């Protein structure tokens, strides 16, 4: 009998969950003022780093640290003694992933590059067919079994295997013929054919030839410059060495550049591909979020405009480009699909193109284990069922008070992370540009300090109101496609709605005659304050709206208030906003050509929720308007120190609200504002001098007290940054509007977990194919599993034409289910084809998202 390996996890998703939050966010659990129960549960968080992962885990085992905030490598987990394991609370989540990113310069024939030394070289990874063949050259299952020790799954797309909403994407690789084990013979043959075709090009004739061991160009070996992460010795270092050996089999010399994260990421992500310092890199990713919808993954991991492909969409760099991927990626993120069918059609097309382009190639997902000291916690933390420990974990952590020392009587959460060099941050803390907060260490510390307008629930991935409420019931929705294929609608925009005009620097009425797809209202949640103690207001929202437009819209060649990278990421979305009405009751109604066909709650949350984030697209980073204003004026008009600042690394010194010299310039700019009684042009007539001065003085006082300018609005705030010890201390912010127990109570939810699937022993065309399925239930975030007593289990047979057959499983006893594909349907299957069977369990249909896994069925 065959048995499939199944990862235990589940995602919850009440369809009415987010709507309920939106309608009654002011619950009895949310309080205002300085009550001791507001903000994080703990009084203090101390973030530190360790240069050794084994020692970091040992510190957690012994209670010197409370939690290791990164996934523990399988080799370290497997080496722990039973005694040590018993001291740990383990959070097992399919959250991480490994991929390869290529440098495909010039990405066109004749595939040669003139490098900085003046030499012309042949780049084999500029040949699309060579890149594509790597999917068969690599045995993903071997990597999972031998390097991850089985703690993961082969993965061909950026969509985490087994998570809800992903299986349709993950069917595409199978349709393209990709398999978990690959096909080395096919790959080498395909690579050889592609290289022979390149050698036959007129520009390469006589120069590109197949040598006795490697291909050669102008008498030198054709070489892959392979950056491999040496600081992941039990993981990506081994992966990289295996892949390097496979590349050599395929006829390429490999220069193995075994670098740590600082040098590797600095070269690959911050350098110019034209420098030709690398052509292949072993990437590692955290999931970043628990997702219900995966549009952002298509943009982030495949579409050049988003800035995560070679060149980073930075001016001055050579950039990988693909017009169709950009078009499809933007359609998804900007809500440009009229129907769910169109949504899936175009997203799946984007996924197929991304696989065929093979600029980024996924290798495997990781079944990550995060560990905490069991004795130190009163209960388990919230965590993302799709991404593991995150900001919700920090803010819901409940540890026992210190019994001695400097913090005696206080609840202090001690968080350790790993850094091979002992450094904490490797990217600038730029709250405006695209390059800020770009490393996991920065987001680990910064994210719990900021609240954006909405968030994704860690147990469901459904959009929930956070900084802002929004009203689903009152939304006006009438989408339609315009003749050019873009989103429009029949909802009338009031003539007195306004937009900020970046040319005239005025808020202007839009006038009559405009219509949109959706109008929705939102309102800032009562009680939010900045860490200065001053309230978050609609003035922050006004400023953020104007700032976003100012820096994305280019008003002539001499427009100093313009950033091309920001514009590339945000302009299309901003163009869809056709008007905003600021109501007397404090609510804001937005009129937008955005419609997310599969999910009305997501549509209204994106349109109606009120945000105050002015920059850092894709990041969870929020600051008050006066900090944004100071940074902008430093960039445009200069700083007290004379440093030429920028919101991008390639046009000056990128701003950093932690670096002491930058912070001194921010403080000086704020002091200049005080002296000049400065009012931002976008806020003229909206605030008084006294109100502006109050903001500037409060931020100056904050900087003087804490030594940094990361002023935000979340449940914890940074109070000390020690660059000598590479530690950061954050204190609970008790002026936070939500009680510390509010969100843990809201997210507690029953869920299912598929434990085990037994495949038919000898599936054939003349008998039913029976699947035996074991399913458990639990209450998130706890892990007290018991056999599922009441729920539904289904299997979905994926046909080669893209359709599926659904079969309901019958319950044999608690936790044990049997589903069968009838012999009549088995007779219609083709021999020799691996059919995907998706197994799904849930408590109540349309009330919770299923636990999902997939298995393979091959007709004998």
Q: What is the pLDDT of residue 846?
A: 57
Would you mind telling me the total number of residues written for the chain in this entry? Answer: 860
Say which residue, 568 or 221, is predicted with more confidence.
Answer: 221
* Residue 378 in tokens: 């009163």
- Please list the helix, strand and coil fractions of the chain in percent, rounded to the nearest 5, in that order: 30, 25, 45
pLDDT band, very low/low/confident/very high, at 18 (cuts 50, 70, 90): very low
pLDDT greater than 90 at residue 171: no
pLDDT greater than 70 at residue 7: no
pLDDT band, very low/low/confident/very high, at 588 (cuts 50, 70, 90): very high
3-state secondary structure 241-309: HHHHHHHHHCCCEEEEEEECHHHHHHHHCCCCHHHCCCCEEEEEECCCCCCCCCHHHHHHHHCHHHCCC
How far out from the chain centre does Cα 827 lie? 43
Cβ distance 39 to 732 under 8 Å? yes
Q: What is the pLDDT of residue 843?
A: 87
Q: What is the pLDDT of residue 162?
A: 67
- The residue-averaged pLDDT of 95-120 equals 97
Question: Residue 621, by phi and psi: left (phi above 0), alpha (psi -120 to 50) or beta?
Answer: beta
Closest CA to 133 of 272, 288, 247: 247
Q: What is the pLDDT of residue 655?
A: 98
Residues 6+ apart with CB under 8 A from 66: 60, 372, 373, 376, 377, 397, 399, 413, 414, 415
Q: How far is CA 225 from CA 40, 81, 428, in A?
A: 46, 40, 27
Q: What is the pLDDT of residue 37?
A: 87
Segment 677-729, tens digit of pLDDT: 999 999 999 999 999 999 999 999 999 999 999 999 999 999 999 878 889 99
% pLDDT > 90, the chain: 82
User: What are the extents of the domains in the chain?
Assistant: 3-11+748-858, 95-366
What is the C-alpha to C-alpha distance for residues 510 and 500, in angstroms, rounded to an integer?
10
pTM: 0.87
Cβ distance 480 to 567 under 8 Å? no
pLDDT greater than 90 at residue 136: yes
Segment 489-501, tens digit of pLDDT: 999 999 999 999 9
Q: What is the pLDDT of residue 22?
A: 37
Residues 6+ apart with CB under 8 A from 70: 53, 370, 417, 418, 440
Q: What is the pLDDT of residue 12?
A: 36
Mean of pLDDT over the chain: 92
Segment 716-768, tens digit of pLDDT: 999 999 878 889 999 999 999 999 999 999 999 888 999 999 999 999 999 99
pLDDT greater than 90 at residue 361: yes
pLDDT greater than 80 at residue 177: yes
DSSP H or E stretch at residue 632: helix 625-637
Residue 64: count other Cβ atoms within 10 Å of its Cβ: 14
- The residue-averaged pLDDT of 443-454 equals 97
Sign of CA dihedral 492, 498, 500, 506: positive
Cβ distance 351 to 324 under 8 Å? no
Q: What is the pLDDT of residue 847?
A: 57
Q: What is the pLDDT of residue 613?
A: 98
For the segment(s) 95-366, the CATH number from 3.40.50.11740, 3.60.70.12, 3.10.105.10, 3.30.300.30 is 3.10.105.10
Q: What is the pLDDT of residue 422?
A: 65
Cβ distance 641 to 617 under 8 Å? no
Cβ distance 819 to 840 under 8 Å? no
Using CB atoms within 10 Å of the CB of residue 15, give its burial: 0 to 12 exposed, 13 to 18 middle, 19+ buried. Answer: middle
Q: What is the pLDDT of residue 667?
A: 99
Q: Does domain 3-11+748-858 have CATH number 1.10.645.10?
A: no
Per mean pLDDT, which range of 96-100, 538-542, 547-551 is the poorest? 96-100
Q: What is the pLDDT of residue 166?
A: 84
Per mean pLDDT, which range of 389-403, 417-431, 466-480, 586-600 is the poorest? 417-431
pLDDT greater than 90 at residue 170: no
Per mean pLDDT, which range of 166-180, 597-611, 733-747, 806-820 is the poorest? 166-180
Closest CA to 630 of 661, 657, 659, 660: 657
Segment 771-783, tens digit of pLDDT: 999 999 999 999 8
């Amino acid at each position: 009998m065959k048995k499939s390996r199944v990862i235990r996890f589940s995602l919850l998703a009440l369809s009415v969950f987010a709507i309920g939050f939106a309608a009654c966010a002011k619950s009895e659990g949310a309080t205002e003022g300085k009550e001791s129960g507001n903000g994080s549960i703990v009084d203090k968080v101390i973030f530190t780093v360790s240069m050794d992962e084994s020692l970091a885990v040992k510190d957690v085992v012994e209670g010197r640290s409370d939690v290791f905030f990164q996934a523990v490598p399988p080799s370290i987990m497997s080496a722990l003694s039973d005694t040590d394991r018993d001291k740990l609370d383990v959070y097992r989540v399919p959250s991480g992933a490994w991929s390869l990113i290529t440098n495909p310069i010039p990405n066109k024939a004749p595939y040669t590059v003139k490098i900085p030394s003046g030499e012309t070289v042949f780049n084999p990874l500029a040949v699309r067919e060579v890149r594509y063949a790597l999917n068969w050259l690599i045995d993903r299952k071997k990597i999972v079994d031998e390097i991850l020790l089985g703690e993961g799954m082969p993965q061909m797309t950026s969509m985490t295997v087994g998570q809800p909403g992903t299986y349709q994407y993950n069917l595409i690789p199978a349709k393209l013929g990709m398999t978990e084990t690959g096909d080395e013979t096919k790959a080498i043959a395909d690579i050889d054919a592609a290289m022979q075709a390149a050698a036959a090009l007129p520009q390469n004739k006589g120069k590109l030839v197949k040598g006795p061991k490697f291909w050669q160009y102008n008498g030198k070996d054709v070489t892959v410059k392979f950056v491999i992460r040496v600081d992941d010795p039990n993981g990506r270092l081994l992966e990289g060495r295996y892949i390097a050996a496979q590349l050599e089999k395929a006829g390429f010399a490999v220069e193995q550049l075994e670098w740590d994260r600082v040098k590797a990421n600095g070269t690959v992500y911050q350098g110019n591909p034209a420098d030709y310092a690398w052509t292949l890199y072993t990437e590692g990713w955290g999931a970043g979020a628990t997702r219900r919808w995966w549009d952002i993954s298509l943009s982030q991991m495949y579409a050049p405009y988003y800035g995560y492909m070679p060149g980073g969409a930075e001016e001055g760099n050579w950039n990988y480009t693909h017009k169709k991927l950009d078009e499809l990626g933007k359609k998804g993120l900007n809500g440009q699909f009229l129907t769910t069918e169109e949504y899936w059609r175009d997203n799946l097309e984007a996924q197929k193109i991304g696989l065929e382009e093979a600029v980024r190639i996924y290798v495997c997902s990781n079944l990550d284990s995060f560990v905490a000291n069991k004795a130190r916690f009163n209960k388990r933390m919230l965590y993302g069922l799709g991404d593991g420990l995150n900001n919700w974990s920090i803010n819901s952590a409940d540890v026992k008070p210190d019994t001695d020392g400097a913090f005696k009587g206080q609840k202090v959460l001690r968080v350790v992370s790993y850094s091979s060099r002992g450094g904490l941050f490797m990217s600038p803390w730029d709250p405006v540009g695209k390059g800020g907060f770009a490393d996991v260490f920065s987001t680990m510390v910064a994210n719990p300090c900021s609240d954006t307008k909405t968030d994704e629930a860690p147990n469901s991935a459904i959009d929930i109101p956070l900084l802002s409420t929004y009203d689903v019931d009152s939304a006006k929705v009438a989408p339609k496609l315009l003749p050019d294929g873009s989103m429009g609608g029949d909802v009338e925009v009031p003539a007195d709605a306004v937009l900020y005009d970046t040319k005239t620097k005025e808020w202007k009425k839009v006038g009559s005659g405009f219509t949109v797809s959706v109008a929705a209202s939102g309102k800032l949640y009562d009680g939010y304050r900045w860490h200065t103690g001053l309230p978050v207001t609609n003035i922050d929202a006004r400023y953020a709206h104007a700032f976003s437009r100012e820096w994305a819209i280019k008003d002539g060649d001499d427009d100093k208030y313009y950033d091309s990278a920001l514009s590339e990421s945000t302009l299309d979305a901003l163009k869809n906003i056709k008007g905003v009405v600021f109501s007397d009751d404090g609510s804001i109604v937005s009129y937008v050509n955005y419609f997310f066909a599969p999910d009305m709650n997501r549509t209204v949350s994106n349109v109606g929720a009120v945000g105050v984030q002015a920059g850092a697209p894709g990041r969870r980073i929020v600051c008050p308007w006066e900090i944004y204003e100071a940074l902008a004026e430093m960039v445009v008009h200069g700083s007290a120190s004379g440093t030429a600042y920028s919101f991008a690394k390639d046009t000056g010194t990128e701003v950093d609200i932690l670096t002491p010299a930058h912070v001194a310039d921010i403080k000086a700019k704020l002091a200049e504002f005080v002296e000049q009684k400065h009012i931002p042009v976008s806020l003229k007539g909206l605030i008084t001098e006294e109100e502006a001065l109050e903001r500037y003085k409060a931020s100056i006082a904050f900087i003087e007290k804490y030594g940094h300018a990361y002023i935000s609005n979340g449940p914890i705030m940074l109070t000390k940054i020690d660059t000598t010890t590479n530690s950061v201390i954050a204190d609970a912010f008790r002026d936070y509007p939500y009680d510390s127990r509010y969100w843990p109570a809201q997210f507690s939810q029953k869920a299912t977990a598929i434990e085990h699937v037994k495949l038919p022993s000898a599936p054939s065309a003349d008998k039913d194919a029976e699947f035996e399925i074991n399913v458990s239930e639990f209450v998130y975030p706890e892990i007290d599993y018991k056999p599922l007593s009441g729920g539904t289990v289904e299997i979905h047979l994926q046909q080669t034409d893209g359709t599926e057959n659904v079969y309901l499983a019958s319950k044999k006893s608690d936790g044990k289910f049997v589903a069968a594909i009838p012999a009549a349907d088995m007779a219609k299957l083709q021999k020799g084809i691996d059919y995907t069977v998706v197994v799904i369990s849930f408590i109540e249909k349309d009330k919770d998202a299923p636990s999902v896994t997939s298995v393979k069925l091959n007709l004998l």
